[in-house]
Amino acid sequence: MTASLERADNHEGEFAAAKLAFTYLKEHFPAQETILFYTDSRLLSDAIGKNYAKHYADELAELTSLMDYFQLVVTQWIPDSQNHGAHHLANEALHRLE
C-alpha cells in the first residue's frame, strides 16, 4: 500500500499515514472490528485521546471521521526508543519529499 504526500512536516506525515491506514481498514473490515492503533507520535496519540489538535484540527477531524466508523479503536503511543525501524522509515520518506 502506497500513497503520495506533498511536502509535509513530521506531524502532517503522521496524520496522513493514519488517515491512509484507517481508509484501508474501513474498506476491508467491518465496523464491529476492534482496531488496535499504535503510533510513535505523541502529538497524534494525544490529539486522538483529547479530540483536540491546536495546529492540526482539520487533519484530526478527517481522521476522527474515519475512526468513528469502528465501534472500538484503542490508541496506544509507543516511544521512538521502542520503535526505531518504523520511525526511521517514516523520516526517510519525509526527507525524500524535500
In the block, cell 520503535 appears at 83
pLDDT at 54 over 70: yes
Residue 71: the pLDDT is 97
If you classify domain 10-97 with CATH, what class do you get? alpha beta
Query: In Å, what is the CA distance from 75 to each residue of 4, 45, 87?
Result: 25, 7, 17
* Predicted confidence (pLDDT) per residue in 63-80, tens digit: 999 999 999 999 999 987
Name the nearest CA neighbour of 44 among 33, 55, 34, 36: 55
Domain ranges of the chain: 10-97
- The mean per-residue pLDDT over the stretch 12-23 comes to 93
Residue 3: the pLDDT is 53
- C-beta separation of 43 from 2 below 8 A: no
- The mean per-residue pLDDT over the stretch 31-36 comes to 97
DSSP state of 90: H
The single-letter code of the amino acid at 4 is S
CA distance 74 to 38: 8
